[in-house]
Amino acid sequence: MTGNFKKPQVIGLNRFRCTLNWPAIMGILNVTPDSFYDGGRYNDTGFALKKVRQMVDEGADIIDVGAMSSRPGAKEIDQNTEIERLKPVLDRIRIDFPDLYISLDTYRASVALWAIEHFNINMINDISGGLFDPDMFDLVAGKGIPYVMMHMQGTPGNMQRNPHYQDVTNEIASFFAHQLNILADKSFYEVILDPGFGFGKTLDHNYELLARLDEFKIFNNRLLVGLSRKSMIFKLIGGAPEQALNGTTALHMLALQKGADLLRVHDVKAAKECINFYKEVSKY
């Protein structure tokens, strides 16, 4: 199943390279009006920059910028709208943070190419794992840009209507194996795997995935987890995303113990503290 895979010790960046201290933190910057937790908060470029500075100061290694909501039931926006939302924010980020490691949250190869060429974007985070745009794999392989491959059953519009699997972990592993072999045929290996918590999964699916997260280490690729303030937390304990920070931190620690390498988070300070505790315990 594993194919010819390699674990990237150094994440490559176009024009420069950066060695990350693993586990690492990816801070979320949504420039959308309708994301599930912070939709509309950072549409203003000034507020977005303040958030970026805060996340960098608190210890974020990567900033993940997205202009299209992928919450359950979200409607797709067109390419022009996606670019219009991204452009002013990326313009200012690159002026104020010229060496910042920026990930772009998009499944469109055309938007990814535009961002790479205009803003020296360093990583592509694709929620479709290469399924929504047939040109995406050729783009990342051709540019040699690190790629986050996420699993999703369905689309954001329908993914939570009736998620179903015979064995959720094995089926996602089979998906990764298939997609990684396609990229291996293109001699491209800088891939981070994301099982896609909350993307076409029930509450039970999500917790089974977390319990079995270490099984994805068979691929020898870095693992990203996106658990931050998701419904799998607040549906279990009650409340809303605003009350889910404590649960997020608890699940982050479990994910780290199960082999997570990269935490995609809204709350960088809490995630940094969690990683520091994990590293301290891991010494023994």
Sketch the domain layout of the chain as residue ranges.
Answer: 11-282
Active site residues: 230, 264
The Cα 78–Cα 103 span in angstroms is: 20
**Measuring CA to CA, which residue among 65, 187, 51, 184 is closest to residue 116?**
65
Kindly report the CATH number that applies to the domain delimited by 11-282: 3.20.20.20
Question: CA 68 to CA 148: how far, in whole Å?
Answer: 16
Going by C-beta distance under 8 Å and a sequence separation of 6 or more, which residues neighbour residue 92? 45, 48, 49
pTM for this one? 0.90
**pLDDT tens per residue, the chain (284 residues)?**
444 344 444 454 343 345 678 999 999 999 987 554 454 454 678 888 999 999 999 999 999 999 987 777 667 889 999 999 999 999 999 999 999 999 999 999 999 999 999 999 999 999 999 999 999 999 999 999 999 999 999 777 777 788 899 999 999 999 999 999 999 999 999 999 999 999 999 999 999 999 999 999 999 999 999 999 999 998 998 888 899 899 999 999 999 999 999 999 999 999 999 999 999 999 99
DSSP secondary structure string for all residues of 13-74 = -SSSEE---SSEEEEEEE--S--TTTTTTT-SHHHHHHHHHHHHHHT-SEEEEESS--STTP
